[in-house]
Amino acid sequence: MRTNSPSPSEAGAPKPHVVIPYSYADHEFASRLTAGLRLDRVTPWIDDIDMSAGAFLVHRIMQAARPVDFVVPVISSSSLPCGWVQNELKAVMARSFRGKRIRVLPARVDDCVLPSFLISLPVLDFHRNGWDGAYGDLFIALHEQTGAAAKLPRSSFGLPRPSRLT
């Protein structure tokens, strides 16, 4: 039987710190992603402020209490017109924070066409690959980058499926 308590080796492992920017239309998905990451002992940061309302992603990353390892933007036909996708993500990709680069892993949640500057990145395609496939890819990428031991993700158990993913 699976338990949620960490093993001794998990307790001291580095925990990836992830920022999840999203537009209001994608709030349900972003909330589920956050809950899944927390179950899998990843430190997600999600802001309940709609990024399309003029929040500045670069500023929030610079003000984070601990260094950010990844930005996992929720990309959809609703978020693409938002300035943060076009401007803030480009700025995050082009600079380093506290002497290190932040890896951007876009989470595509519908059949939108990705902007050209995101095409060269590995994309977590929740629309085509479903929750389990794309979340598994995210889980592995987070742990490979930080050197944490990657076990099977726990998040598939007991979380409701976002209605936008069919």
Question: Does the residue 128 lie in any domain?
Answer: yes
Q: Which two tokens stand for residue 99?
A: 């002497």
8 Å CB contact between 23 and 50: yes
Question: Does the residue 152 lie in any domain?
Answer: no
Question: Does the residue 79 lie in any domain?
Answer: yes
pLDDT at 158: 44
Q: Scanning the structure block, which residue is given the tokens 């260094």? A: 67
Per-residue pLDDT of the chain (166 residues; tens, 9 = 90+): 334 444 444 455 567 888 898 888 999 999 999 999 998 888 888 866 545 555 577 777 777 767 888 899 999 999 999 888 888 888 888 876 777 788 899 999 999 999 999 999 999 999 999 999 999 999 988 888 666 555 555 554 444 444 444 3
Question: Does the residue 108 lie in any domain?
Answer: yes
Question: Does the residue 162 lie in any domain?
Answer: no
Question: Does the residue 111 lie in any domain?
Answer: yes
- Looking at the structure of the chain, the number of domains it has is 1
3-state SS, residue 4: coil
Q: Which two tokens stand for residue 116?
A: 């050209």
State the Cα–Cα distance between residues 79 and 102, nearest whole angstrom.
Answer: 21
3-state SS, residue 38: helix
Q: Which two tokens stand for residue 78?
A: 């609703």
pLDDT at 123: 94
H, E, C per residue of 72-121 = CCEECCCCCCCHHHHHHHHHHHHCEECCEECEECCEECCCCCCCHHHHCC
Question: Does the residue 161 lie in any domain?
Answer: no
State the Cα–Cα distance between residues 31 and 46, nearest whole angstrom.
Answer: 8
How many distinct helices (H) and strands (E) make up the chain?
7, 9
State the Cα–Cα distance between residues 140 and 153, nearest whole angstrom.
Answer: 9
Note the pLDDT tens digit of each residue in 102-145.
Answer: 889 999 999 999 999 999 999 999 999 999 999 999 998 888 86
pLDDT at 55: 59
pLDDT at 14: 63
Range of the domain at 117: 15-146
CATH at 56: 3.40.50.10140
pLDDT at 48: 61
Question: Does the residue 33 lie in any domain?
Answer: yes
